[in-house]
């Protein structure tokens, strides 16, 4: 079932700029944007959780530390 929505001219311009081709529909553009936010693999989720644990445990380096190490 198709539905009509109202969007601002500003949003329409933004959607138009995101089109890969003139034949691409606004629906396809919106699905592409949504897909970007929905596709986080289990591996990525696990990596993020592991990184959070390491940061909480202090197992990380600051940019300042890395810069200093690169000088040495």
**DSSP assignment of 54-66:** HHHTT----HHHH
**Residues 29 and 46 placed together within one structural domain of the fold:** no
pLDDT of residue 43: 86
**Residues 14 and 28 placed together within one structural domain of the fold:** yes
Q: Over the stretch 29-52, which tens digit does the pLDDT of each residue have?
A: 999 988 877 778 888 889 999 999
Between the CA of residue 19 and those of 5, 16, 41, 48, what are the distances in Å? 18, 5, 26, 31
**Residues 17 and 33 placed together within one structural domain of the fold:** yes
Two structure tokens written together for 47: 């990596």
Predicted structure pTM score:
0.49
Residue 62 belongs to some domain of the structure: yes
pLDDT of residue 38: 76
If one counts the domains in the chain, the total is 2
**Residues 31 and 49 placed together within one structural domain of the fold:** no
Q: Which domain holds residue 20?
A: 9-38
Tokens 């909480």 belong to 56
Q: Give the chain's length.
A: 72
**Residues 33 and 49 placed together within one structural domain of the fold:** no
Percent of the chain whose predicted confidence (pLDDT) is above 70: 100
């Amino acid at each position: 079932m198709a539905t009509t929505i109202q969007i601002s001219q500003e949003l329409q311009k933004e959607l138009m700029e995101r089109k890969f081709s003139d034949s691409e529909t606004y629906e396809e553009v919106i699905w592409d944007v949504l897909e970007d936010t929905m596709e986080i693999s289990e591996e990525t989720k696990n990596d993020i959780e592991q990184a959070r644990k390491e940061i909480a445990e202090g197992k990380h380096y600051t940019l300042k530390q890395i810069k200093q190490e690169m000088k040495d």
